[in-house]
Amino acid sequence: MHHPDDSIEPHRQARLGRRGFLLGTGALVATGVLAPQPRTAFAGDSSAGTPYWRPTVHFTPERNWMNDPNGMVHFQGEYHLFFQHNPHGDQWGNMSWGHAVSHDLVHWTELPVALSPDELGAIFSGSAVVDHDNTSGLFDAEPGIVAIYTNAGQTQQQSIAYSTDRGRTWTKYAGNPVIENPGVADFRDPKVFWHDETERWIMSLAEGDRISFYASPDLLNWERLSEFGSDQGAHGGVWECPDLFRLPVEGQPGRSKWVLIVSINPGGPAGGSGMQYFVGEFDGTRFRNDGSPGEVRWVDQGADFYAAVTWAGIPESDGRRLWLGWMSNWTYASEIPTSPWRGSMSVPRELSLIETGAGLRVAQRPVAELERVRRRPRRWSGAVSDGGAAPEFRGSELDMTTEFRLTGASATSFGLEVFTDGEQVTRIGYDVTARQVFVERTESGDTTVSDAFPARHAAEHVPDDGVVRLRILMDRCCVEVFGDRGQVVLTDLVFPAPKGNRVRPFADGGRVHLDSWEIYELNAH
């Protein structure tokens, strides 16, 4: 339960007028403190678990290990989220497909495990589609869902299963595997979609340091078409979890491009795992990159967004391309200090292609459904200076937007301090000299997860109009930062102590004007 608290911190009361408006530093509307959810002891108490770190609007399993999202499909009004899951422990291993469903992309119901290991091995990542026309011959009068996944036994091979009851129960195909291993160690993560132009199913599959494409008329018999990537993009680690889809260019009716997503581990921009993308053309057989072979475009330049894949089956009337990713990093995933679960997902995001000064870029925005659980709005604008007065709120589950004006600013960096208690702090802001949006978690609470955890992550950004716009989601153990139109994104885990629940603006080395600061409490109960 949330406990409203309209008091102001004692050390702030002297700065406020009788009606709660901040005097001398700008207009503060509906001054108050956003109360956190109740919390218990900080870290270490394994018997009590860590409920204070379980997020409110990010999916987590009730118990045990979770990593990559799998089988993302929308069917008969439900968004299905399958995920890599160890139902027997909090470490990676014995992988199955966990399962959850949602009607609104915010509230999730966890269901029993969907797919468990068999004689062909563990159940690794994959995808799911709705076979509307029964191309597979696996259904009768009504369409059903087909899951395409990697069996990981002595070798990695591709198999399928199907469901006739909205994903509640599954039958594994008697002819598995449908694609045998051709003799490579890494051969996994099939992502399948229906290609209208060639009237067949297309599969993207990770093979070591490249992506191969397959085609099938029926989801059962597959033909290898081509491969991409041996001389393209980043190659600091193995390629994983591909996704290929067409996106319209925002503001340019009739124009669209194909986007190929590739996760890579290690070799990410913040160290460890990360995600890159390519923009180009797909003719039903081959993907061609519009960029130069050595160019690398990162999906997210924080440390904790990985293996994201898009939902299949989104109705044409909706028209959005939606996805979410695993919020962790293979560098320290097994050491994340949450209990009795380990692993969480990002919020679902809408994808678009936007034209920028550097060319076409993938942009991400939190889904609009998240705004339906916003509560208790707060708004402020005014000057922020190094050592000067500034408003302060409390909250651990917040959705915030800010607009900082660069014109006239003398500060070398500015932004918001979140999850702070005066000693620990997570800083989110803009470095004027380096021209970067950044998240700094060097003093963010429990940073002992790994030597790589206490770090500053940054992404280059030069605003077109001199205004730094940020949307910041913070939810107990994480921050997701979206810069400008969403072409700059940083996602990071943080593990603050319970008392670290204050939020305030900052400016280093000078002054900046905060034209707009909107704060909403997130309440998904």
3-state SS class at 370 = helix
Nearest Cα to 154, choosing from 194, 129, 122, 188? 122
- Cα distance between residue 476 and residue 56, in whole Å: 8
How is 95-143 classified by DSSP, letter by letter?
-EEEEEEESSSSS-EEEEEEE--BTTBEEEEEEEEE-TT-TTS--SSS-
Cis check: omega of the bond before 177, within 30 degrees of 0: yes
- Identify the three-state secondary structure at position 53: helix
d(CA 263, CA 34): 37
Tokens 């011959």, residue located: 137
Instruction: Give the pairing type, strands 64-75 and 109-115.
Output: unpaired
| b/e map 321-345, b = 16+ CB within 10 Å | bbbbbbbbbbbbbeebbbbebbbbb
CA distance 114 to 98: 6
Tell me which residue has tokens 């000078």: 510
Q: How many CA atoms lie within 13 A of 94 on its CB side?
A: 9
- The 8-class DSSP code of residue 368 comes to G
Report strand pairing: 64-75 vs 341-342. Answer: parallel
Active site residues: 68
**Which residue from 41, 56, 2 is spatially nearest to 499, judged by alpha carbons?**
41
Name the nearest CA neighbour of 117 among 63, 72, 179, 161. 161
* Pair type for strands 210-216 and 374-385: unpaired
Q: Is residue 15 classed as helix, strand or coil in its secondary structure?
A: helix
Backbone φ, ψ for residue 412 (5° rounding) = -80, -25
Residue 511, beta-bridge partner list: 385
Q: How far apart are CA 420 and CA 443, in angstroms?
A: 9
Distance between CA atoms of residues 240 and 429, nearest Å: 31
Strand 156-163 relative to strand 145-152: parallel, antiparallel, unpaired? antiparallel
